[in-house]
Amino acid sequence: MNRVLIVDDLQDARELLTELVTAGFPQAHISTADSVAAAQAAIARQGFDLALVDLSLADGFGTEVIALLHEQQPDCMTVVASIHDDDERLFAALQAGASGYLLKDQPAELTLRQLQNIADGQPPLSPAMARRLVQYFQGRQQSDVAPVVEEALTPREREVLGLLARGFTLSDIARQLEISRHTVGDHVKNLYRKLDISSRAQAALHAQRFGLT
């Protein structure tokens, strides 16, 4: 995590996140941006390993920044940092390619732990988001679009998703399914990946339909 981008339109919030990242990754070089335009410029200038992006920006939505990073710097880990837990916007951000999200008002230790978990491929998934995912994958299954093999959920993944939707923590799920917490985390990571794959497949399909490719 050497090169970090922080995108937030509030000065105080940028400072706060900068402190937080500095505490967690002391050797990191941190760039900040206060708007979609500034973020685009920063992305054009250099590559990043980690980006913390707020969703409501003065000149647009953080989702645009996330989509741009996902396309131009696929190796960069993009995390939504918000004080909203509005699942509508978060879901859009995940579909755009965000690897996870965190709430800015969480204790610094928790945020750092979550960042570490995201970096380890164990992103959090709230019950509301899990329900969105359930709906989304069910909808995909029933749609006329032939499902891409990779995006279909395994029975285990469906089980994990169902428990997450009912408010179980990763530890609860590990106990319930008698598997390690780490394995549960892997399932969650796969859920994110499949959401991403399927949304890319969907985008490609749309592009094809409209004659863009």
Partner 1 sequence: MHWSTGEESGRALVTPAGRSPAELPLVYWFQLAYGSLSCLIGCWVWLLRPSEWGARMFAVTGSCFALLTLGPAIYSVRGLALQGDLFRLLSSLNHLGAILFGCGLVALMLSYPRLLLAPRWLALPFVIFLPTFVLDALRLAPNQDWGMRIPIMSQMLLAIALGGWQWRRAREDALGRAALRWVLLSSLVGCGLFVFLMVGSTLLGSLPPIPQGYALGLFLVMYIGLALGVGRYRLFDLDRWAYRVLIWVAGAFLVLLLDSVLIAGLHLAPDSALAVALLASGWMYFPLRQWLLVRLLGARRPLEDALGEIVALALLPESAARAHRWEALLQQVFAPANIVPLPDPGPPTAALLDEGLALAVPAHADSRALRLNLRDSGRGLFGPEDVRFTDNLLSLLRQTQLQQAGLRAAAQGERQRLAQDLHDDLGSRLLMLIHRTRDRELTGIAREAMADLRSILSAIDGPGASLADVLANGRAEASARCEAAGRKLDWQVSEELPLHWLSSHTRSVLERCLRELLTNALKHGAGDPVAIDARVDSAGLRLAVTNPLPGAEAEWAMGRGLRGLARRLAALGGQLNIDRQHPSQARVELVLPL
Does residue 2 interact with partner 1 by CB under 8 A?
Answer: no
Cα(12)–Cα(8) distance, integer angstroms = 9
* CB of 69 or CB of 174, closer to partner 1: 174
Three-class HEC string of the chain:
CCEEEEECCCHHHHHHHHHHHHHHCCCCEEEEECCHHHHHHHHHHCCCCEEEECCEECCEEHHHHHHHHHHHCCCCEEEEEECCCCHHHHHHHHHHCCCEEEECCCCHHHHHHHHHHHHCCCCCCCHHHHHHHHHHHHHHHHCCCCCCHHHCCCHHHHHHHHHHHCCCCHHHHHHHHCCCHHHHHHHHHHHHHHHHHHHHHHHHHHHHHCCCC
Does residue 172 interact with partner 1 by CB under 8 A?
Answer: yes
Q: How far is the CB of 132 from partner 1 (least distance, A)?
A: 11
* CB of 75 or CB of 105, closer to partner 1: 105
Does residue 158 interact with partner 1 by CB under 8 A?
Answer: no
* CB of 15 or CB of 71, closer to partner 1: 15
Cβ count near 28 (within 10 Å): 15
Does residue 188 interact with partner 1 by CB under 8 A?
Answer: no
* CB of 55 or CB of 76, closer to partner 1: 55
In terms of Cβ atoms closer than 10 Å to its own Cβ (0-12, 13-18, 19+), residue 58 is: exposed
| Sole window of 28-36, 39-47, 101-109, 187-195 interacting with partner 1 (rule: CB under 8 A) | 101-109
Question: Per-residue string for binding with partner 1, 111-150, x by CB under 8 A?
Answer: ---------------xxx--x-------------------
Cα(98)–Cα(100) distance, integer angstroms = 6
Q: Residue from 22, 46, 47, 110 that binds partner 1 (CB under 8 A)? A: 110
Question: Per-residue string for binding with partner 1, 38-77, x by CB under 8 A?
Answer: ------------------x---------------------
Does residue 156 interact with partner 1 by CB under 8 A?
Answer: no
* CB of 128 or CB of 148, closer to partner 1: 128
For binding to partner 1 (CB under 8 A), which residues are involved? 10, 12-13, 16, 56, 83-86, 104-105, 107-108, 110, 126-128, 131, 165-169, 172
